[in-house]
Structure formats: structure tokens, C-alpha cells
């Protein structure tokens, strides 16, 4: 009887093992075919590799922190005075229109992500490899172009805030050493930087708003729509240089694995970042009123009328220095995205990423050294003549991705992963049941 019981238990265990082996073999064959198919479409920043993400380069939390605490910083320097110049007390209207437009584009890009389990760039390369390379190269050039005027702004801001007398141009050059280091990092570094920027931004931003709130007169914003529609429209298109967020978000979405329900959280995070900017604009104009168009570098000046500063000194500068740390990364980000796009277009093997970083930052260093004296020329060029470039890359091209075909179908890979997990669980349960039956039979025999 014991021999028969042992044979029965071994036979049941063998059947369960065979079932698990067959299921593992089927999944292995399926993954192999998927890997073969995906080699034609490399993921963002991973040209020439297998084309399959073992894990997302940036997670949902980091992406939301990026939208909440990094993107808004670039709009707190020159944009408030520019909007106040055209729209006066209605400066919130063009800013709101910008965020409305960019939110619509973001929703469209999230819809593209949700249609397939493959990254956007992988599907683009599968559709047309030459087209994918051209678009990556074009975005690389765009990111460098979009950072020309902001870097001149940052250089003048550093001269104004950190030095009592006019320094030499070389005082700003350490920024490009930091930028060159940042540019050799991939999308993972962007997510980690967003985690680090979160507490710094919240502490400094909320501190400056608290100090400025006592001197804010919100009646300066009234009457609503007191400025003509033409003036508000001018403020809208002249400020496109500061409000082209969708182009910066696109490379991160290419490194992000979309999961069901993420869209609402990502859009809410971007709306929260817009709320920070709108609050800052309202407080800024409430403090300065009609003088706002002349008050450049807003977050340096917004808290200077805090009554306690007469007693304790300019402690607000500590908050300004803190938010400047986030600003340094925000202004180096377009150069990092440019390097990422070049790696996607032409490969990142060997020292290519380092070479791209050195070349881009070296060129930008020379640009700042020789062109900072022509700041007003570039100000006019970017706000009045070349403004149309920004909606092309932040609105038109991202919306064109809606026509991108789904190379893997609607959710097929998600369904396959779910079926595979269910098969594993079923095989494990069968094995446990077979073991239990064998033990029961042996116990009965004894």
C-alpha cells in the first residue's frame, strides 16, 4: 500500500511539474518573439539595444514630481514681468490659456501612451526608422534652441542677485560644468532629481509666498478682463518661449510605462504645477501693481517688503538661493533632453553621450560669453519673431503622434502578462493540491 501511495504522489507531482515546464516554455517562446520584434524599435535613449524595457526609466511618482516642482520654476524668472507688460492686471489670462493648451496636448500624449504597451519612440521607429531619427534630431536641435534665451536670463539673474558689483562673464561658467555632468545622465537621473527638488521647491516657494502675502493687494488684479483681448493675445504668443512644456514632457513619456489610471494623476500633477505659477503671478502683480512690467527676476524681489526683514535682515535671500538650486537644474534640463534625443537618433555606444554633452555645453558656453551683451536683441527675437517655433514642437508635433499606429494592438501585452500570471498561479495551485492529495493518501494508508 505504501509503495502504491508513493507512486501515486510521484505521478501527481510529475504531472504538475510537466505542466509548469510547458507553461514556462510557452512564455519563453512568446518573450523571445517579442524581443525579436522589438529590436527594430529602440526605446528612448537606448538605440541599438534590445528595444525592450526591463523596467521603466522613470516611475509615476517621479514624473508627477517633475511636473509639480521642476517645470514651474522656469516660469518664475522673466515670465511674470513679460506677461504684466502686455496684459497688465489680466496677466493670469494668457498664463491660463497656455496651461489649458498644454494640458490638452498632455492628455493627447497620454492617450497615445495608453493605446499600446510599447514606448512611443519604439512604435515610431517600428513605423519608420528614418522618420524616427529625423524627429529625434529635430527635437535635439529644438531643445538647444529653446534654452538660448533662458540661459541669458539666468546669467543676468546670477549677476544681479549674487554679486554687488558687475562680475566678469566667467563667473557663470561653473554652471556649464554642472550642466555637462547632468547631460551625461539618462532619464533615470531626471526622476531622481525631481525627488530631490520636491522639498527644496516647497520650502522656498511657500516661504516666499508667505513673506509676500502681507504686502499683496489682490484688488490690483481687478477688474477682470480690464485689458483688451488683443493685448491678452499678444501676451499669449509673446510668452510661448516660457510655456512650451509638452515638448519637455514628451521624452519622459517615452521612458515611462503607462499603467491604467495614471493619466488622471499625471494631468492633476501638471495642473498643480500650473496652480503654483498662477498663485505666484497673482501675488507678484498684487505686490508691484503698475510697476510689475519693470520688475524682472520676480522671485528675487517678491518678498523684499516683508516687515520682519527690517529686524532680522534679508533672510528671504536664503529662500531665493534655495529656489535657485532648482532653477539651475531646470535650466540645464533642455540640454540634457537634447543629449537624450541625440542618443536616440545616433546611438549612445562608447563615449558618444559624453561627446554630445561636451559639444553642446561647450557651444552654449561660447554663446553666453559672446552674446550676453546683446541680451535685448535676443529678447526681441525670441518673444516677437521666433515665437512660432515653440508651438510647432510643443503642440503640433506631439498632436501628430495621435496618428501613430499601434504596433502591438490595444493592450495585447497587458492581457498576455495577466494571462501568464494567472497560468503561473494555477500551476502553483495544482502542484500544491497534488502534494496535499499525496499526503492524504499516505496518511490514509498508514
CB contact at 8 A, 145 and 389: yes
pTM, 2 dp: 0.80
Cell of 99: 496651461
Mean pLDDT score of the chain: 84
Average pLDDT, integer, range 291-299? 89
Q: What is the pLDDT of residues 59-117, one digit of tens each?
A: 899 999 999 999 999 999 999 999 999 999 999 999 999 999 999 999 999 999 998 88
CB contact at 8 A, 48 and 347: yes
Q: What is the pLDDT of residues 153-199, one digit of tens each?
A: 999 998 888 887 777 777 888 999 999 999 999 889 999 999 999 99
**212-236 burial, b for 16+ CB within 10 Å, e for fewer?**
beebbeeebbeeeeebeeebbebbb
Q: Which residue from 136, 111, 108 is spatially nearest to 43, judged by alpha carbons?
A: 136
User: Among the residues of 214-293, which ranges form H helices?
Assistant: 229-238, 245-254, 262-288
pLDDT given at position 444: 64
Cell of 96: 491660463
Average pLDDT, integer, range 210-221? 92
The DSSP output letter for 79 is H
Q: Which residue has the higher pLDDT, 24 or 148?
A: 148
With cut-offs at 50, 70 and 90, classify the pLDDT of residue 305: confident
CB contact at 8 A, 324 and 159: no
Does 2 score more than 60 pLDDT? no
Q: What is the pLDDT of residues 374-431, one digit of tens each?
A: 999 999 999 999 999 999 999 999 999 999 887 654 455 555 655 665 666 666 666 6
Amino acid at each position: 500500500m505504501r509503495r502504491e501511495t508513493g507512486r501515486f504522489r510521484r505521478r501527481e507531482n510529475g504531472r504538475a511539474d510537466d505542466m509548469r515546464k510547458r507553461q514556462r516554455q510557452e512564455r519563453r517562446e512568446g518573450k523571445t518573439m517579442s524581443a525579436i520584434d522589438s529590436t527594430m524599435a529602440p526605446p528612448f535613449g537606448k538605440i541599438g539595444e534590445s528595444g525592450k524595457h526591463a523596467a521603466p526609466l522613470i516611475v509615476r511618482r517621479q514624473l508627477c514630481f517633475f511636473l509639480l516642482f521642476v517645470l514651474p520654476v522656469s516660469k518664475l524668472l522673466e515670465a511674470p514681468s513679460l506677461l504684466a507688460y502686455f496684459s497688465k492686471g489680466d496677466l493670469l489670462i494668457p498664463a491660463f490659456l497656455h496651461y489649458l493648451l498644454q494640458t490638452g496636448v498632455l492628455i493627447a500624449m497620454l492617450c497615445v501612451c495608453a493605446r499600446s504597451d510599447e514606448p512611443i519612440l519604439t512604435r515610431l521607429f517600428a513605423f519608420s526608422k528614418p522618420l524616427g531619427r529625423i524627429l529625434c534630431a529635430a527635437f535635439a536641435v529644438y531643445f538647444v534652441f529653446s534654452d538660448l534665451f533662458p540661459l541669458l536670463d539666468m546669467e543676468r539673474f546670477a549677476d544681479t542677485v549674487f554679486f554687488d558689483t558687475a562680475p566678469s562673464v566667467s563667473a557663470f561658467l561653473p554652471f556649464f560644468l554642472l550642466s555637462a555632468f547632468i547631460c551625461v545622465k539618462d532619464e533615470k537621473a531626471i526622476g531622481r532629481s525631481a525627488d530631490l527638488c520636491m522639498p527644496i521647491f516647497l520650502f522656498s516657494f511657500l516661504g516666499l509666498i508667505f513673506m509676500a502675502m502681507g504686502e499683496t493687494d489682490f484688488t490690483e488684479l481687478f477688474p477682470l478682463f480690464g485689458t483688451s483681448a488683443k493685448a491678452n493675445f499678444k501676451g499669449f504668443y509673446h510668452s510661448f518661449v516660457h510655456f512650451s512644456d509638452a515638448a519637455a514632457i514628451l521624452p519622459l513619456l517615452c521612458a515611462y510605462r503607462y499603467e491604467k489610471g495614471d493619466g488622471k494623476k499625471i494631468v492633476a500633477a501638471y495642473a498643480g504645477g500650473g496652480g503654483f505659477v498662477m498663485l505666484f503671478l497673482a501675488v507678484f502683480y498684487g505686490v508691484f501693481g503698475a510697476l510689475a512690467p519693470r520688475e524682472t527676476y520676480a522671485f528675487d524681489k517678491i518678498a523684499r517688503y516683508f516687515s520682519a526683514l527690517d529686524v532680522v535682515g534679508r533672510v528671504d535671500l536664503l529662500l531665493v538661493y534655495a529656489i535657485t538650486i532648482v532653477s539651475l537644474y531646470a535650466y540645464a534640463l533642455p540640454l540634457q533632453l537634447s543629449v537624450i534625443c541625440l542618443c536616440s537618433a545616433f546611438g549612445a555606444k562608447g563615449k558618444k553621450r559624453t561627446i554630445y554633452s561636451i559639444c553642446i555645453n561647450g557651444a552654449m558656453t561660447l554663446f553666453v560669453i559672446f552674446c550676453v551683451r546683446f541680451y535685448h536683441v535676443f529678447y526681441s527675437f525670441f518673444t516677437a519673431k521666433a515665437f512660432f517655433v515653440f508651438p510647432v514642437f510643443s503642440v503640433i508635433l506631439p498632436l501628430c503622434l495621435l496618428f501613430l499606429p499601434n504596433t502591438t494592438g490595444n493592450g495585447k501585452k497587458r492581457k498576455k502578462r495577466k494571462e501568464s500570471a494567472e497560468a503561473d498561479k494555477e500551476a502553483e495551485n495544482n502542484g500544491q493540491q497534488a502534494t496535499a492529495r499525496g499526503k492524504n493518501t499516505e496518511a490514509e494508508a498508514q
